[in-house]
Amino acid sequence: MTIRLGDIAPDFEQDSSLGRIRFHDWLGDSWGVLFSHPADFTPVCTTELGLTAKLKDEFAKRDVKVIALSVDGLESHQGWIKDIEETQATAVGFPILADADRSVSTLYDMIHPNANDTLTVRSLFIIDPQKKVRLSITYPASTGRNFDEILRVIDSLQLTDNHKVATPGNWKDGDDVVIVPSLKDEEELKRRFPKGYTAVKPYLRLTPQPNR
Protein backbone atom coordinates (compact mmCIF):
# COMPACT_ATOMS: atom_id res chain seq x y z
CA MET A 1 0.00 0.00 0.00
CA THR A 2 1.39 3.40 -1.00
CA ILE A 3 0.62 6.20 1.45
CA ARG A 4 0.57 9.70 0.01
CA LEU A 5 0.52 13.05 1.73
CA GLY A 6 -3.04 13.95 2.67
CA ASP A 7 -4.15 10.32 3.01
CA ILE A 8 -5.76 9.21 6.24
CA ALA A 9 -3.13 7.26 8.17
CA PRO A 10 -4.28 3.62 8.21
CA ASP A 11 -5.65 2.49 11.55
CA PHE A 12 -4.39 -0.71 13.15
CA GLU A 13 -4.33 -2.65 16.40
CA GLN A 14 -1.02 -4.10 17.54
CA ASP A 15 0.89 -5.08 20.67
CA SER A 16 3.47 -2.67 22.03
CA SER A 17 5.92 -2.30 24.87
CA LEU A 18 3.22 -0.33 26.70
CA GLY A 19 0.30 -2.66 25.95
CA ARG A 20 -2.15 -3.24 23.13
CA ILE A 21 -2.65 -0.13 20.97
CA ARG A 22 -5.45 0.82 18.62
CA PHE A 23 -3.66 3.52 16.70
CA HIS A 24 -6.36 6.13 16.02
CA ASP A 25 -7.73 5.86 19.55
CA TRP A 26 -4.22 6.18 20.96
CA LEU A 27 -3.56 9.31 18.90
CA GLY A 28 -6.76 11.00 19.99
CA ASP A 29 -6.63 14.69 19.03
CA SER A 30 -2.85 14.89 19.10
CA TRP A 31 -0.27 15.05 16.36
CA GLY A 32 1.68 11.84 15.92
CA VAL A 33 5.06 10.58 14.75
CA LEU A 34 5.22 6.91 13.72
CA PHE A 35 8.70 5.67 12.85
CA SER A 36 10.14 2.25 12.12
CA HIS A 37 13.41 0.50 12.94
CA PRO A 38 15.00 -2.37 11.04
CA ALA A 39 15.36 -4.58 14.14
CA ASP A 40 15.99 -4.62 17.88
CA PHE A 41 19.52 -4.47 19.30
CA THR A 42 20.84 -2.48 16.35
CA PRO A 43 23.26 0.37 17.03
CA VAL A 44 21.77 3.26 15.04
CA CYS A 45 18.25 2.49 16.29
CA THR A 46 19.47 2.46 19.86
CA THR A 47 20.77 6.02 19.49
CA GLU A 48 17.58 7.15 17.73
CA LEU A 49 15.27 5.84 20.42
CA GLY A 50 17.46 7.34 23.11
CA LEU A 51 17.34 10.70 21.37
CA THR A 52 13.56 10.47 20.99
CA ALA A 53 13.24 9.80 24.71
CA LYS A 54 15.44 12.80 25.53
CA LEU A 55 13.23 15.00 23.33
CA LYS A 56 10.13 14.11 25.35
CA ASP A 57 9.48 17.71 26.43
CA GLU A 58 10.00 19.06 22.91
CA PHE A 59 7.38 16.68 21.52
CA ALA A 60 5.03 17.35 24.42
CA LYS A 61 5.01 21.12 24.00
CA ARG A 62 3.99 20.58 20.36
CA ASP A 63 1.25 18.12 21.43
CA VAL A 64 2.95 15.27 19.55
CA LYS A 65 2.78 11.60 20.51
CA VAL A 66 5.63 9.40 19.29
CA ILE A 67 5.43 5.70 18.60
CA ALA A 68 8.18 3.45 17.25
CA LEU A 69 8.00 0.10 15.47
CA SER A 70 10.26 -2.90 15.10
CA VAL A 71 9.51 -6.31 13.61
CA ASP A 72 10.73 -8.12 16.73
CA GLY A 73 8.52 -9.35 19.56
CA LEU A 74 7.65 -7.97 22.98
CA GLU A 75 10.22 -9.94 24.95
CA SER A 76 12.95 -8.72 22.64
CA HIS A 77 11.66 -5.14 22.97
CA GLN A 78 11.82 -5.25 26.75
CA GLY A 79 15.43 -6.40 26.69
CA TRP A 80 16.33 -3.79 24.12
CA ILE A 81 14.67 -0.99 26.11
CA LYS A 82 16.93 -1.86 29.04
CA ASP A 83 19.95 -1.50 26.77
CA ILE A 84 18.68 1.82 25.41
CA GLU A 85 18.12 3.22 28.87
CA GLU A 86 21.52 2.01 30.06
CA THR A 87 23.56 3.25 27.08
CA GLN A 88 21.65 6.47 26.32
CA ALA A 89 21.05 7.55 29.95
CA THR A 90 17.33 8.14 29.50
CA ALA A 91 13.95 6.49 30.11
CA VAL A 92 11.94 5.21 27.14
CA GLY A 93 8.45 6.46 27.95
CA PHE A 94 6.83 5.96 24.55
CA PRO A 95 5.54 2.71 23.02
CA ILE A 96 7.47 0.50 20.62
CA LEU A 97 5.16 -1.59 18.46
CA ALA A 98 5.98 -5.31 18.40
CA ASP A 99 5.20 -5.92 14.74
CA ALA A 100 6.38 -9.53 14.61
CA ASP A 101 3.67 -10.44 12.10
CA ARG A 102 4.68 -7.41 9.97
CA SER A 103 1.06 -6.35 9.64
CA VAL A 104 1.73 -2.67 10.40
CA SER A 105 4.96 -2.68 8.40
CA THR A 106 3.07 -3.98 5.39
CA LEU A 107 0.15 -1.58 5.91
CA TYR A 108 2.55 1.38 5.88
CA ASP A 109 4.83 -0.01 3.14
CA MET A 110 7.83 -0.05 5.48
CA ILE A 111 9.42 -3.16 3.97
CA HIS A 112 11.20 -2.53 0.67
CA PRO A 113 12.20 -5.89 -0.85
CA ASN A 114 14.94 -4.38 -3.00
CA ALA A 115 16.62 -3.14 0.18
CA ASN A 116 15.75 -6.04 2.48
CA ASP A 117 12.83 -8.42 2.14
CA THR A 118 12.36 -9.04 5.87
CA LEU A 119 13.33 -5.86 7.74
CA THR A 120 11.84 -2.37 7.64
CA VAL A 121 13.63 0.62 6.21
CA ARG A 122 13.72 3.78 8.36
CA SER A 123 10.26 5.11 7.55
CA LEU A 124 8.76 8.06 9.40
CA PHE A 125 5.30 9.61 9.20
CA ILE A 126 4.01 12.84 10.73
CA ILE A 127 0.24 12.64 11.25
CA ASP A 128 -2.03 15.55 12.18
CA PRO A 129 -5.01 15.55 14.58
CA GLN A 130 -7.37 14.76 11.68
CA LYS A 131 -5.31 11.57 11.14
CA LYS A 132 -3.94 12.85 7.82
CA VAL A 133 -0.37 12.05 6.80
CA ARG A 134 1.47 15.35 6.49
CA LEU A 135 5.04 14.15 5.93
CA SER A 136 6.76 10.88 5.09
CA ILE A 137 10.50 10.29 5.02
CA THR A 138 12.31 7.09 4.13
CA TYR A 139 15.96 6.68 5.06
CA PRO A 140 18.22 3.71 4.30
CA ALA A 141 18.79 1.39 7.23
CA SER A 142 22.36 2.63 7.67
CA THR A 143 21.50 6.32 8.14
CA GLY A 144 20.10 7.68 11.40
CA ARG A 145 17.37 10.29 11.31
CA ASN A 146 17.79 13.99 12.06
CA PHE A 147 15.27 14.72 14.79
CA ASP A 148 15.98 18.46 14.65
CA GLU A 149 14.53 18.32 11.13
CA ILE A 150 11.48 16.39 12.33
CA LEU A 151 10.76 19.00 14.99
CA ARG A 152 11.37 21.77 12.43
CA VAL A 153 8.80 20.26 10.06
CA ILE A 154 6.24 19.95 12.87
CA ASP A 155 6.81 23.61 13.75
CA SER A 156 6.30 24.56 10.10
CA LEU A 157 3.14 22.47 9.72
CA GLN A 158 1.57 23.82 12.88
CA LEU A 159 2.44 27.40 11.94
CA THR A 160 1.25 27.20 8.34
CA ASP A 161 -1.99 25.45 9.33
CA ASN A 162 -2.97 28.52 11.35
CA HIS A 163 -1.59 31.39 9.25
CA LYS A 164 -1.53 32.11 5.51
CA VAL A 165 2.20 31.65 5.27
CA ALA A 166 4.77 29.14 4.08
CA THR A 167 8.27 28.57 5.44
CA PRO A 168 11.33 29.16 3.21
CA GLY A 169 14.32 26.90 2.77
CA ASN A 170 16.33 26.27 5.94
CA TRP A 171 13.64 28.06 7.98
CA LYS A 172 13.77 27.65 11.75
CA ASP A 173 11.24 28.69 14.37
CA GLY A 174 11.53 32.46 14.79
CA ASP A 175 12.76 33.23 11.27
CA ASP A 176 10.83 35.29 8.74
CA VAL A 177 8.20 33.46 6.70
CA VAL A 178 6.68 33.81 3.24
CA ILE A 179 3.16 35.13 2.67
CA VAL A 180 1.22 32.75 0.41
CA PRO A 181 0.82 34.16 -3.15
CA SER A 182 -2.97 33.75 -3.09
CA LEU A 183 -3.32 36.42 -0.40
CA LYS A 184 -3.52 39.77 -2.23
CA ASP A 185 -6.07 41.95 -0.42
CA GLU A 186 -4.17 44.81 1.23
CA GLU A 187 -6.60 45.19 4.11
CA GLU A 188 -6.34 41.50 4.94
CA LEU A 189 -2.55 41.71 4.67
CA LYS A 190 -2.49 44.57 7.18
CA ARG A 191 -4.81 42.69 9.51
CA ARG A 192 -2.93 39.40 9.34
CA PHE A 193 0.57 40.85 9.35
CA PRO A 194 0.58 44.03 11.50
CA LYS A 195 4.40 44.02 11.55
CA GLY A 196 4.36 44.59 7.80
CA TYR A 197 6.16 42.73 5.06
CA THR A 198 8.93 43.12 2.51
CA ALA A 199 8.08 42.47 -1.13
CA VAL A 200 11.27 41.10 -2.66
CA LYS A 201 9.19 40.22 -5.73
CA PRO A 202 5.41 40.45 -6.13
CA TYR A 203 5.23 36.70 -5.44
CA LEU A 204 7.95 36.68 -2.75
CA ARG A 205 6.84 38.60 0.35
CA LEU A 206 8.64 38.11 3.65
CA THR A 207 7.10 38.88 7.02
CA PRO A 208 8.05 38.22 10.66
CA GLN A 209 6.68 34.94 11.99
CA PRO A 210 3.09 35.88 12.93
CA ASN A 211 2.79 33.81 16.10
CA ARG A 212 5.85 35.40 17.67
Catalytic sites, residue numbers: 45
The region, left, alpha or beta by phi > 0 then psi within -120 to 50, assigned to residue 2 is: beta
Angstrom distances, CA of residue 167 to CA of 139, 158, 187 = 23, 11, 22
Helix 43-54 vs helix 74-88: angle between axes, to the nearest 10 degrees?
70
Judge whether 50 and 90 are in contact, CB under 8 Å.
yes
Contacts of 65 (CB under 8 A, 6+ apart): 26, 27, 28, 30, 31, 32, 33, 59, 94
DSSP 196: -
Distance CA 51, CA 44 (A): 11
Angstrom distances, CA of residue 77 to CA of 2, 51, 200 = 27, 17, 53
In this structure, the number of other CB atoms found within 10 A of the CB of residue 117 comes to: 8
Residues facing residue 138 across a β-bridge: 123
